[in-house]
With several copies, the nearest count.
Chain A
Amino acid sequence: MAIAILYFASVREAIGHSSETVAPPPDVVTIADLIGWLAARGGGYAVAFANPGQIRAAIGDDFAEPGTPIAGAREIALFPPVTGG
């Protein structure tokens, strides 16, 4: 399952790029699982996702909760809380 992941703001800066395509294993079921799986890569990923409670997500154009399943998602965005314009 190939998913496009978009990173924004401080998450993007810590990871060092704004998007990539990943293929998580079958035991990565939810947004929270995905964040944990990415954090386990270490380096910038570990920094970006050091505090998973402060990470927000969207699947496509809709906001998603940590428990939201990612099955079927083609694009997932991960980012810090929005700050308004």
Chain B
Amino acid sequence: MSATLSVGVQAADFDVGAELAKLEPLGGGGVASFTGVVRGGNGLTALELEHHPGITETMIRRIAEQAAGRWPLLGVTAIHRHGRLAPGDRIVLVAAASPHRSAALEATAFLIDWLKTRAPFWKKEYFADGTSRWVEARAADDEAAKRWIEQG
């Protein structure tokens, strides 16, 4: 099965409905998606995402290709924003079209686990009290991504 890949790392917001509408006509019968939104709390006022222009998109494309090789997918979309985002802003969209609903959902879970834990981004959190800090890699999230590798 040959999958249409659509990968992007961009500052601008994305249109979830428009992105999913591109996957719906691929003939699969089902499109799964996951949209990430910047979470507030603890006085967070902004999140800044830094990326490596060459590496980040290349790596995301490589993982999307991996998903398309592992599951019978007709299309994969992965869009991640960079730059300064506020709580409530959309930050990431992953979607997969497949004739099998479990394949579409599992590929979406695989991709979002990888994007949230392994994708080449650096995140800085800004707080209402004027402080800021670089987020460190989280071991628990690493585990979630590792599950998929061990199954591979």
A and B touch in the complex (CB under 8 A): yes
| Known contacts A58-B55, A77-B55, A82 near B119 by CB under 8 Å | yes
Question: CB within 8 A of A9: which of B54, B124, B138?
Answer: B124
List residues of chain B with CB within 8 A of the CB of A81: 136-137
Please give the distance in Å from A16's CB to the nearest CB on chain B.
Answer: 15
Q: Specify the main secondary structure of chain B where it touches its partner.
A: mixed
Interface residues on B, range: 20 to 34
A6 at the interface (CB under 8 A from B): yes
B115 at the interface (CB under 8 A from A): yes
List residues of chain A with CB within 8 A of the CB of B36: 85
The answer to whether A9 touches B134 (Cβ under 8 A) is yes
Residue of B with least CB distance to A11: B122
The answer to whether A9 touches B137 (Cβ under 8 A) is no
Please give the distance in Å from B60's CB to the nearest CB on chain A.
Answer: 9
| Known contacts A58-B55, A77-B55, A84 near B118 by CB under 8 Å | yes
Q: What is the CA–CA distance of A63 and B121 in the complex, to the nearest angstrom?
A: 14
List residues of chain B with CB within 8 A of the CB of A63: 55
Q: How many residues of A contact B (CB 8 A)?
A: 19
List residues of chain A with CB within 8 A of the CB of B55: 58, 61-63, 77
Other than the given A83-B122, A83-B136, 14 more pairs (CB < 8 A) read A9-B50, A58-B54, A58-B55, A63-B55, A77-B52, A80-B122, A80-B134, A81-B136, A82-B118, A83-B121, A83-B135, A85-B36, A85-B116, A85-B121
User: Which 5 A-B pairs have CB atoms at the shortest separation, nearest pair first?
Assistant: A9-B122, A61-B54, A84-B117, A82-B120, A85-B121
Instruction: List chain A positions with a Cβ less than 8 A from chain B.
Output: 6, 8-10, 12, 58, 60-63, 75, 77, 79-85
